[in-house]
Amino acid sequence: MTPRPRCTSVGRRNPMAKNTTDMSVLGPSSRITGNVRGGGGLRVDGSLKGDVTVGGPVEIGGEGTVAGNLEAESLDLEGSLEGDASTRGPIRVGPRATAAGTFRGSQVTIEPGARVALRLDCDFELDLGLRPTRRRR
Amino acid sequence: MAGTVIGEGLTIEGEVVTEEEVVVNGTVRGTLSSADAVSVGAGGVVEADIQASALSVAGQVTGNVNAQDRIDIQAGGRLVGDVKAARLTIADGASFKGNVDMEV
């Protein structure tokens, strides 16, 4: 049986898949209005208004902002994302990140300090160190 | 390393405005404006008007180009459009079609 996708509320930092050879970078002073699509990975340190559809991992740096829907292999969010994110792999929302939208990923990690107004579209498992309560049969 | 890199396989359709150096190995359609140099790699395709301090073309550019300093079309590079720049070089093996304004 394959493990079901799950969400963790706190903690465990997921090592994001890094592929530097096919990586695109939108630098800190760049402002892009339009859609971005393609096969490789993408790092956003500037501002992007538009939808992102890439086959590789997406990183949004601490100063990076994206306003639009995002589809990628994985997402590492340190900056701001206003829009829906859908990934095949994990989503990590860093401690200084802001996010608003619907997130769908194999695993969603929201670190303490992140400002989020999110709808999470995955099975949720609270990782609070609590013992599971016994269910009535 | 350049501030903004549009990697191979990536396509941006829209407006790109930056103050950094830009390297295009993928595709840009729309407009591309940089306060620094723009370099279009051998596999890069730009279908956009370009504003830059300098432009180097090893790939394909279709659009009008305005460069404050210079435009270099390298061997294998192809530029179709009107160019305005103080200096222009077209290497052996490069192709160019358009008008040139060198602000004489």
ipTM confidence score:
0.91
DSSP state of A8: E
Residues B87 and A106: their CA atoms lie apart, in Å, by 53
Task: Inform me whether the pLDDT recorded for A22 exceeds 70.
Answer: yes
- The closest alpha carbon to A19, from A96, A95, A76, belongs to A76
Q: What's the pTM?
A: 0.84
Q: Is B21 helix (H, G, I), strand (E, B) or coil?
A: coil
Tens-place pLDDT, residues B28-61: 999 999 999 999 999 999 999 999 999 999 999 9
More confident residue, A6 or B67: B67
Give the pLDDT band (50/70/90) at residue A1: very low
Number of Cβ within 10 Å of residue A100's Cβ equals 15
Query: Where are chain B's structural domains?
Result: 4-94
Task: Evaluate whether A105 touches A74 at the Cβ level (below 8 Å).
Answer: yes
Chain B neighbors of A64, CB-CB under 8 A:
none
Query: Where are chain A's structural domains?
Result: 1-14+22-94
Interface list for A 8-47 with B (CB within 8 A):
22-42, 46
Task: Evaluate whether A6 touches A125 at the Cβ level (below 8 Å).
Answer: yes
C-alpha distance from A89 to closest chain B C-alpha (Å): 20
Task: Please tell me which of the candidates A23, A36, A40 has its beta carbon nearest to residue B12.
Answer: A36
Task: Evaluate whether A78 touches A72 at the Cβ level (below 8 Å).
Answer: no
